[in-house]
Amino acid sequence: RPTLSGAAPLEPVAVSLLASAQEKGAFCLDGTPPGYHLQRGSGDGSGSWLVHLEGGGWCSTVKDCSGRRMSVLGSSNFMKPLQFTGHGIFDSDEIYNPDFYNWNKVYVRYCDGASFAGDAEGQAQDGTTVYFRGLRIYEAVIGELMEKGLANATQVLFTGCSAGGLATILHCDDFSARFPQQVSVKCFADAGFFLDVRKDISGERSFWSFYNRVVQLQNVRQVLHKDCLANKDPTECFFPTELIKSIRTPMFILNSAYDSWQIQNVLLPTSSSPEKSWLSCKDNIGNCNSTQIKVLDEIRNTMINDLKVINDKADWGMFIDSCFTHCQTLFRISWSSPTSPRLGNKNIAKVVGDWYFGRSQGVKEIDCEYPCNPTCN
């Protein structure tokens, strides 16, 4: 389809490798320099910046992290140019991305395995070093972007999806503190609200144990809030439920209350050996029976309850739909299209834009229980 805005670049955006990687010790898991993709803004968007942290789960053992070194999630050797056009909030087409189409857009690649939060290293079985340098990657990449024009931004949206959504929550206040007070800086976490579900389907606290290993292995304490650490275990402080209590910067939380990744990996991890009927439900919520839906509703209720703190934060927003999905900003179909999920007759792009630009008061939308929303696809 020809683009209607006339100026939408269709060529992929090249990867830029961090120039100061060696000097800053900011390495991917395999020791290669981290990378990001920068597309310059135009027109009235040339002073506005969208900075996005990529997601991709976590690794909690030296062996798992070592395995990632042979993929894009652990090495810049595998990073290729990315197509922004057609990809939701990165779309350069004004029709599908009216508020952010001509902004400077940055997609920061994820190659550390701990939500840009760790600072440690380990030794693989073959004797080579595995670098857990997510915090240094975050700091060095943001530093380089500041030199490339981010420091002169008039308005900024700091985003991330999945593990990158958690990273956005972790770094939100630090990121906004880098700008003068008059600059509009807000944070937007997509599918990063991971729940501390006390038990999976087998009765084990498997996800908490997994997070605990990540926290210990990669040494993520430095990015956790001091007031939380004074009273709670560091692992508990790594969960968004605790993190959002301390954040001062305006933030928007976008999540499905029936997040497909969390249902598949937190409630029904492979280690819990779900029975056949649960395997079918895990693959597609449409296959779940009424008893199983009740269990999923409990997950939803946990999320809604954990998000209550946002009601007292006037400049925060949220869009919690009931769609069986994970990460909704990076796809045109869910961000802004005729078939996008809607709450209050608005799609995600409209609600986020209204929140960022202050076009409507109290942008806090929570969907009814599954399967009530016919706009979920």
CB-CB contact of 60 with 210 (8 Å):
yes
Q: Which domain holds residue 151?
A: 15-366
* pLDDT band per the 50, 70, 90 thresholds, residue 235: very high
Let me know if residue 123 belongs to a domain.
Answer: yes
Q: Is 52 a catalytic residue?
A: no
Whole-angstrom Cα distance, residue 117 to residue 137? 9
**What pLDDT shows up at residue 6?**
44
Please tell me whether residue 52 adopts helix, strand or coil conformation: strand
Tell me what the mean pLDDT of segment 137-153 comes to: 98
pLDDT at 336: 97
pTM equals 0.96
Q: Catalytic pick from 91, 260, 326, 340?
A: 326
Q: Is 225 a member of any domain?
A: yes
Annotated catalytic residue: which of 48, 76, 92, 162? 162
35: left (phi over 0), alpha (psi -120 to 50) or beta: beta
What pLDDT score does 9 carry? 59
Residue 8 in any domain: the answer is no
259: annotated active-site residue: yes
Q: Encode pLDDT of 201-232 as tens digits.
A: 999 999 999 999 999 999 999 999 999 999 99
Mean pLDDT across the stretch 303-327?
97
pLDDT reported for residue 76: 98
Domain tally for the chain?
A: 1
Q: Which of 99, 259, 306, 367 is catalytic?
A: 259
Is residue 376 in a domain? no
Q: pLDDT value at position 5?
A: 43
CATH number for position 295: 3.40.50
Question: Could you tell me if residue 177 is inside a domain?
Answer: yes
The predicted model gives 263-286 an average pLDDT of 94
Task: Report residue 160's pLDDT band, with 50, 70 and 90 as the boundaries.
Answer: very high
Q: Mean pLDDT over all residues of the chain?
A: 95
DSSP element (H, E) containing 176: helix 163-176
Is 171 noted as a catalytic residue in this protein? no
- Within-domain flag for 218: yes
Mean pLDDT of 178-199: 96
In a domain, 373, yes or no: no
371 lies in a domain?
no
